[in-house]
Chains A and B, each alone.
Chain A
């Protein structure tokens, strides 16, 4: 009888621990101080095994756009740089963060397609660029990156793409950025 009570206590405690730890998982984008017009879930880098492999410490995790059917466009990496003292995006600053994320130009194998662009979004000057992997049959042949100041905090979104990014799709990804607050 005494053993049974111990067993019940053990399993109750175990269930409570599992349930309470599951409850602590923050899937809301608001947990990283961002709001989105689209339905989005946020997965912290600690949740998905190997997700932070090769990424700098400012990598936060993966955003999943729930209404986007194409997984290449639905999943994107989020980087936050709260300590960046500048408050407006510029070509030089973007170049600096390109090197920070993917390595300096002389070291980096990934090539910037055309050049990085500064365009005007709801957050002001915003930077975008596409990186191409010169290796044929690469697992991740392209990366598309948007960088700008969201709530006065430098925020970078990075998509891993299987196909070259067409203008129409690029516009959709820009629209996703436009929906962030």
Chain B
């Protein structure tokens, strides 16, 4: 739908800078208006139009609780259209189970990860800012972290967490985290290598 005006703007700018001779497009809208003022008006219209487009692309949507989420939901990428979102990863680098959910109406990011060295638990309230390319997790202490949306899920710290089908899959994923280090069923597990070094 926006291709027509975009092409027209391209033509206006190209012609202004004498890059192309487009005189053969006599029938194009506004082309007959060959006066200096008409040309200037065309440029102004194009600047406003392109400005609107770029604003639309960069417009950031932020939310930190369920009420704000419901208001912003329609503008969000498909992955964020439904919360809770369960994400998991199982590989050599780490085993991860994570969840973005509302806790008493507030947005919360939970993550449990285990590696060959040890395990960690993250449970932090966040607000989320989303533009057309990236999601930014903003923690309450001011730290923020960019998360890339991919076709499979989200990329956090170089690990692509794939979207899990549902809560049952998330719980299974959690079990696999625990299986890496059975002592984990507490907050920070003692790194396995430490125990073996004793």
Contacts and interface: CB of A to CB of B under 8 A. Distances in A.
Most chain B CB within a 10 A radius of its CB, from A75, A103, A133, A134: A75
B187 to A, nearest CB: 4
B155 interface: no
Most chain B CB within a 10 A radius of its CB, from A43, A53, A107, A160: A53
B196 to A, nearest CB: 11
Interface residues of A, number: 39
Given A72-B186, A108-B140, A53 B145 contact: yes
B141 A49 contact: no
Interface string A133-169: 1110011100000000000000000001110000000
Nearest to A101: B141
Contacts of A75: 187-190
Contact of A109 (B111, B125, B191, B198): B125
A71 B187 contact: yes
Nearest to A134: B104
B165 interface: no
B48 to A, nearest CB: 38
B153 to A, nearest CB: 15
Contacts of B69: none
Size bracket, chain B contacts = 35 or more
Contact of A54 (B103, B109, B117, B189): B109
Given A135-B103, A139-B123, A62 B188 contact: yes
Nearest to B109: A54
Interface string B92-135: 01101000000110101111110101111111111000000000
A99 B143 CA distance: 12
Given A48-B115, A50-B96, A54-B124, A102 B189 contact: no
A51 B156 CA distance: 12
A135 B104 contact: yes
Nearest to A72: B186
Contacts of A134: 104
A72 B187 CA distance: 6
Given A75-B189, A108-B140, A140-B187, A50 B194 contact: no
A54 B93 contact: no
B13 interface: no
Contact of A50 (B108, B141, B157): B157
Interface of B: 93-94, 96, 103-104, 106, 108-113, 115, 117-126, 137, 139-143, 145, 156-157, 159, 183-184, 186-191, 194, 197-198
Interface of A: 41, 43, 47-51, 53-56, 62, 64, 66, 70-72, 74-76, 99-104, 107-110, 133-135, 138-140, 160-162
Q: Which 6 pairs between the two chains have the least Cβ-Cβ distance?
A: A103-B140, A75-B188, A160-B187, A135-B103, A139-B123, A54-B124
